[in-house]
Amino acid sequence: MGTSAVFTIGELAKRTGLPVKTIRFYSDEGLLPPTDRTDSGYRLYDATAMARLELVRTLRELGLGLADVERALTREATIGDLAVQHVAALDEQIRRLELRRAVLRAVAKRDSPLEEVELMNKLASMSDEDRKRLLDEFWADMVEGLELDPQFYERMRSAKPELPDDPTPEQLEAWIEFAELVQDDEFRASIRRMSEWHSQLRKQDGADFGEKQQELWMAWSAKASEALEAGISPDSPEGRELAETIFTQSSRNGRDPADPAWRKRLTDGMVISYDPRAERYWMLLGKMNGWPSFPSQMPQGEWIIAALRSALG
């Protein structure tokens, strides 16, 4: 036996704070070979072995497996190489934990039944390609067989959820709600009715119907905003005046703006066009993609619809 200072496993445990069982395990695995042995065969360790043990502890605390620790100690791989690999593994683990957290948050908010929990977990785990495919299928169903403004609906279809590599919990929750929304039968029926309404008007009013209607809506919405800010009721003279403006400006190709049937049809079309869930669709998409938030336009739409209904008498 050598003359330099050596320690038994018990003494090494006291100096490092590690359990004797752990030190013995590392030694048995070849990560901490003994410096020497007593005449009775008990293992002894010197200061170099103590430093090696501290390194093993550090690497293990960082999450490296025994095989990687051994590779580092034998110089088969540098600490830097192992760190890069471990960071990648941790990133994937963090991503999965964040997905799980998003699902659990959604479950907690809704007190979801078991079947819905399973669905939300599947939605949260979908790949980017799966997400885009889901949306492509949604819009294909919404426009199939209809005559619509191709540029407008191409913009609708091209706006896809693009979650970043490290999405926030809020973005993940937005995706779960968004995916559920586009698969909801009532929402799909609502958007299909909206598409059919626009298709009918485009056939009757020409290919530029959508562009003209958008310009008119912006002007009507501005009037409704002023009325809302001023506390003016939709059934007021100002509301009736805006309603008559809408009936007149929407009556193209010889339509009579005073025709009760047309006024009722236009009002019903407005109701179809302003489903709050459609706006929610864009708000969720914006949250996922990091777009600037926008104020809700639903109050203006509701005010306009109320004014139109009041003008119907």
Helix axes 237-249, 298-312, angle to 10 degrees: 90
Mark whether 43 and 103 lie in a shared domain. no
Mark whether 87 and 194 lie in a shared domain. no
Mark whether 283 and 163 lie in a shared domain. yes
CB 24 within 8 A of CB 15: no
Residue 121 lies in a domain: no
Q: What is the pLDDT of residue 126?
A: 72
Mark whether 247 and 185 lie in a shared domain. yes
Helix axes 79-110, 114-124, angle to 10 degrees: 140
Residue 119 lies in a domain: no
Residue 2 lies in a domain: no
Q: How many structural domains compose the chain?
A: 3
- The rounded distance, in Å, linking the Cα atoms of 311 and 264 is 10
Residue 291 lies in a domain: yes
> Which residues of the chain fall short of a pLDDT of 70?
1-4, 77, 79, 82, 86, 89, 92, 95, 99, 103, 106-107, 110-125, 165-166, 207-210
- The rounded distance, in Å, linking the Cα atoms of 184 and 278 is 12
Q: How many CA atoms lie within 13 A of 128 on its CB side?
A: 9
Mark whether 173 and 291 lie in a shared domain. yes
- The rounded distance, in Å, linking the Cα atoms of 225 and 219 is 10
Mark whether 182 and 104 lie in a shared domain. no
Q: Find residue 43's DSSP bridge partners.
A: 37
Q: What is the pLDDT of residue 108?
A: 74
Mark whether 95 and 156 lie in a shared domain. no
Q: Which two tokens stand for residue 214?
A: 């958008």
- The rounded distance, in Å, linking the Cα atoms of 57 and 52 is 9
Residue 118 lies in a domain: no
Mark whether 242 and 291 lie in a shared domain. yes
Residue 134 lies in a domain: yes
Q: Give the closest residue to 220 by CA, choosing from 312, 303, 276.
A: 303
Mark whether 205 and 267 lie in a shared domain. yes
| Domain coverage including residue 67 | 7-74
Mark whether 20 and 86 lie in a shared domain. no
Buried b (16+ CB within 10 A) or exposed e, 47-79: eebbebbebbbebbeeebeeebbbbbbeeeeee
Task: For residue 53, give the CATH number of its domain.
Answer: 1.10.1660.10
Mark whether 59 and 143 lie in a shared domain. no
pTM score of the predicted model: 0.63
Mark whether 14 and 101 lie in a shared domain. no
